[in-house]
Amino acid sequence: AQKITQTQPGMFVQEKEAVTLDCTYDTSDPSYGLFWYKQPSSGEMIFLIYQGSYDQQNATEGRYSLNFQKARKSANLVISASQLGDSAMYFCAMREIQAGTALIFGKGTTLSVSS
């Protein structure tokens, strides 16, 4: 079974609009972390935001926020006020502490921002 599921292969949004990229996860480990990375066409993986399983508040980093719904096992990334430079592949990833796993990545969502 897939541990990280990103159901949107591609998303399209206009500049200045908000967009939500979906991510659901599957784990029985009580201690885990959820990460979002951005990968432009240049190839570098850029860390965006992190949410720990015990965090009470949703994480925010500038225009990025993570909508963490633990009971539903979802960790959606919200990008507010999209910019052309946001066009990239976005990966959701998870690390489990007790299982000792390294990062497990979802298949990614390609975001295209148009003017």
Q: Pattern 2-41, binding to other proteins, x per CB under 8 A? A: -----------------------------xxx-x-x----
CB of 70 to other proteins, least distance (A): 15
At 77, give phi and psi (nearest 5°).
-95, 130
CB of 16 to other proteins, least distance (A): 27
Quote the tokens at residue 91: 């990966």
90 binds other proteins (CB under 8 A): no
Residue with Cβ nearer other proteins (56 or 81): 56
Answer for the pair 47, 103: CB distance below 8 angstroms, yes or no: no
| CB contact burial 7-45 (16+ within 10 A = b; e otherwise) | ebeebebeeeeebebbbbbebeeeebbbbbbbeeeeeee
CB of 43 to other proteins, least distance (A): 4
Size of the chain, expressed as the number of residues it contains: 115
Using the rule CB under 8 A, which residue among 7, 15, 17, 47 binds other proteins? 47
Using the rule CB under 8 A, which residue among 28, 42, 56, 57 binds other proteins? 42
